[in-house]
Amino acid sequence: MGNVLEDYPFHCVFSLRPLIEFWRRNIAANPEYGRSLTEGIEAKLQNAPELLEPMEDLSVLQRHQNLLKTLMSLVFPPAFWQTDLVGAFVPFNLQPVYTSTSFKRLLLNEDGSFKSRPLMGEETYLTGRILRAYFLILEKYYGIRRDIDYPIIHVVPDPDTGLDLYLRIKPNLRFVEVHPRGKLKELSKEERETIIENLTNLTVLREILPPENFEFRGFGALYVFDVTQSEIISALERSLIDQESIFSKSGFQLLQQKLRTLFRSPDLVAGLAAIKDDQVMLLNVGCDLSTSSVFSGSLHLPLSEFEGSFYERAFTENRIINIRDLREETRRTKAEEAAFQAGARSLLIAPLTYRGNMIGTLDIASSNPGEFGPEDMMLMTQIMPLFVLAVKRALDETDHQIESVIKQKCTALHPAVEWRFHQAAFAYLDRIRMGQVSDFEPIVFRDVYPLYAVSDIRGSSEARNRAVQKDLEDQLTLALEVIRLAKNARPMPILEELSQRLGRQLERLGAGLSSGDEAAIVKMLKTDVEPLFVPFKDFSPQVRHAIESYQAALDGRLGTVYRRRREFEESMSLLNKRVSTYLDREQAEAQAVFPHYFEKHQTDGVDYLIYVGASLSEKGAFNELYLENLRLWQLMVCCGIAWHTEQLNDELKVPLEMAHLILVNHTPLSIRFRFDEKRFDVDGAYDVRQEIIKSRIDKAMVKGRAERLTQPGKIAVIYTQPQEGREIRRYIDFLRSQGFIKGDTEALDVQELPGVQGLKAFRVEIDLSSPAIAERVKRLAK
């Protein structure tokens, strides 16, 4: 916590006078307590007049510890002093004066500051303490009584386990007095009304009643209660509302940490599974034990994998199963053996049922035998309903995703054209009912305008080859080190020969990767080198260590060094995913303006194709304004994609750049649905020219130059007709005025391609630091 003495605006001073006066009125004056006791204390008070005065310097108390202890026993019963978390503090600024041993151990640092943190946040916590002070002032001097009673929860690490403890702090201000400093201000009617209307507005309260005009004397008593269980259960309930808490690794790890805190088990590992038909769907793959268990490598397992296991017993008996020590279970099934091999000793398995049907399990494991007892089973019973609802939502969400994937991946029924297929299907079924034999009628959309664009990852093939080359070099180097050390340990001519072969391969590879190199090198390592590792392990510890280093570097699935290729694939995948997600957001907004057919593909980059026209609209309504809007939209989308690429630079393990290309065609064409391929294609020989141009422009060169048309950070727009060029130039000029594009517009001729002549192009540079682009992208992300 921050420095409360500096943050708190009121002057607060410790004083025992309120407590001493209470003692004299209620204890000393009562004959039931005995004169010898009361007179003895009174005599000590007479000899310590400084205790009746406000104490700025708390060292005064050092001379009167016994008397302080006696007085404080009126506030804190001695019978509970050793066990309760209690203490006396300077009012509001929380400077400790007299605290129990357990309070000091758990909540205070050596310098007396709090080691805990308020769950509500430092600023809100400070505001609450200031409001409490103002409410005392308002009640005592102005007759305005308001209560402020909200739970003050602090989080502190348990010194024994390191896990969080949630502690509720309940203040008692019985022995706190407020005094004006100087003449007490009288409130006007308007000021009283303003205060009542703004009782929690510190700015208003400070302005009318400045804090420097008041002083607090006495002490505040704090009583602390452990509310970890109730707080964690509430936190679990909030977390489980979010699907990410069980579908993502990071979300589940946060959930697991809450369970560790709840069960007071620092190394607890949680498992959550849902049952769907005859499959078990694992919702926490990648977390701790799951990486080396029966769960490894798959998100779904047959229910038969759990036959005879404790998991099945939890299902059939519909009760929580507690396995105290897996080592003592001699008949471990595959499920229990996997957990045991991963380090689990004790296991608690809870069945999750919804309306009488088994829908999943929740289990917690620990490396300590006997970790879980009856109280943990009761806790598990409390949280099971929360996980039941979470798993039910997960199953429902999965069903929804399956339907979406089937619709998206297995058919070409884009929402914009579904109406036409519904019409054709209805007509087909109607003819069948009438006894007419008929095929499904052709689905053709005539006079539609195509829009095509591609954002291509520049140099992806070269980057992929460099990654392959570096991985092979690393693997050959590791293999050479094994052979070198083996040769030193036991010199043999055959090892010298093998070493030379590996060296020659490494030299050839350094000159560049050729076709067939990868397969040849991997085959050589698998057949000539790796089989020697078994006898080599006995040569020397150094050889054994080199073999272990070689094997540790291999990818577990592929059996080769795959680090650089994985980095390249992850970088390309991240870039494609980010661009694709952004394009989906843009597309959703564009569809809302006017429905159109949209088709997107991902390879080494992202490309998309749009068809728009009257025949695609169910009502036949169309205006060329929508077509022009989409062409301008294409340019803006390219700018947004380039902005995303720039933002990802620091996240990509392998630097990648994107070049952007748009093909403009004012001539409408016809498209036909190919039922055999379940996709749309152009219809007619003339319209095929659009497809030929599309397939050949990605490697187009500038006419008269040895220069690619597409360049990173720039947009190239290819067109054929002068009116197309005039329209595109207008859009470019507009985007330049809006801050999307900078620099001049290059007007270029495209070098002739096979079967394609007369292409022209504009090329412009995108302003990657443009606030206008950033604002558009962020608006769509909301």
* pLDDT < 70 positions in the chain: 1-6, 28-39, 243-245, 247, 284-300, 398-413, 422, 425-438, 677, 684-689
From the list 501, 368, 452, 481, the residue with the least C-alpha distance to 694 is 452
CA distance 573 to 303: 33
Q: What is the 8-class DSSP label of residue 370?
A: T
638 plus 759 within the same structural domain: yes
CB atoms within 10 A of CB 110: 7
Beta strands 164-172 and 176-180 are unpaired
Are residues 268 and 389 both part of a single domain? yes
Spell 421-439 as b/e; 16+ CB within 10 A means b: beeeeeeeeeeeeeeeeee
132 plus 217 within the same structural domain: yes
Residue 211 in 3-state DSSP? helix
The last residue of one of the domains, among 166, 197, 224, is 224
CA–CA gap between residue 266 and residue 257 (Å, rounded): 8
One-character DSSP codes across 248-274: SHHHHHHHHHHHHHHHT-TT-EEEEEE
- List residues bridging with 366 in a β-sheet: 346
Q: Do residues 287 and 383 share a domain?
A: yes
Domain count, the chain: 5
116 and 155 Cβ atoms separated by less than 8 Å: yes
- What does the pLDDT read at residue 412? 54
Among 179, 214, 136, 147, residue whose Cα is nearest residue 17: 179
Q: Please check whether residue 450 lies inside any domain of the structure.
A: no
CA 377 to chain centre: 30
Shared domain for 316 and 359, answered yes or no, is yes
- Give the start-end residues of each E strand in 416-573: 444-458
The answer to whether 276 and 387 are in contact (CB under 8 A) is no
Identify the bridge partners of residue 515 per DSSP, sorted by sequence position: none
455 domain-assigned: no
Encoded tokens for 55:
């104490």
What's the CA gap between 109 and 126, in Å, rounded?
19
| Alpha carbon distances (Å) from 364 to 19, 228, 296, 628 | 51, 19, 17, 59
Phi, psi of 65 (to 5 degrees): -60, -40
For strands 657-663 and 605-612, give the pairing: unpaired
| Exposed e or buried b per residue across 239-273, where buried means at least 16 C-beta atoms within 10 angstroms of its C-beta | bbeeeebbeeeebbeebbbbbbbbbbbeebbbbbb
Type of residue found at 586:
E
The DSSP element (H or E) to which 156 belongs, if any, is: strand 153-157
Which own/partner contact pairs does 60-67 have at CB distance under 8 Å and 24+ positions apart? 61/97, 67/41
DSSP β-bridge partners for residue 455: 606, 660
Looking at the structure, tell me whether residues 550 and 582 fall in a common domain: no
In a domain, 617, yes or no: yes
Helices 228-241 and 249-263: crossing angle in degrees, nearest 10, is 160
| Residues 592-605: tens digit of each pLDDT | 899 898 988 888 88
Could you tell me if 181 and 58 lie in one domain?
yes
Query: Residue 287's pLDDT is what?
Result: 46
DSSP-based three-state secondary structure for 558: coil
Cα R_g (the chain), whole angstroms: 38
CB 636 within 8 A of CB 740: yes
DSSP assignment, residue 293? Answer: S
**Based on the domain organization, do 466 and 522 belong to the same domain?**
yes
Report the chain's terminal Cα–Cα distance, integer Å: 34
Query: At 546, phi and psi to the nearest 5?
Result: -65, -40
**Are 361 and 331 contacting, i.e. CB atoms less than 8 angstroms apart?**
no
Please report whether residue 658 resides in a domain. Answer: yes
Residue 513 domain-assigned (yes or no): yes
Instruction: Name the token pair of 122.
Output: 């430092």
Same domain, 27 and 141: yes
11-14 vs 214-218, strand pairing mode: parallel
Dist CA 545 CA 551 (whole Å): 10
pLDDT at 316: 86
Whole-angstrom Cα distance, residue 556 to residue 411? 35
Answer yes or no: is 456 within a domain.
no
77 Cβ contact list (under 8 Å, min separation 6): none
Which pairing describes strands 214-218 and 176-180: parallel, antiparallel, or unpaired? antiparallel
Q: Which helix (H) or strand (E) segment is 216 a member of? A: strand 214-218
Contacts of 112 (CB under 8 A, 6+ apart): 95, 96
394 and 276 fall within a common domain: yes
CATH number of the domain that residue 272 is part of: 3.30.450.40
* Tokens read off for 139: 């009640």
- The verdict on residue 689 lying in a domain is yes
Residue numbers of the domain that contains 109: 4-224
pLDDT of residue 291: 39
Question: Within the chain, what is the greatest distance between any pair of CA atoms?
Answer: 118
- Does residue 289 share a domain with residue 153? no
Is residue 451, in this structure, part of any structural domain at all?
Answer: no
CB 704 within 8 A of CB 749: yes
Q: Which of 224, 244, 264 is the last residue of a domain?
A: 224
pLDDT the model gives residue 297 = 36
Q: Helices H, strands E: what count in the chain?
A: 25, 24
Q: How far, in Å, CA of 709 to CA of 659, rounded?
A: 9
Number of residues in the chain = 782
Strand positions, DSSP E, 503-621: 597-603, 605-612
State whether 600 and 573 are in the same domain: yes
> Rounded to the nearest 10 degrees, what angle do helices 334-341 and 310-317 cross at?
130
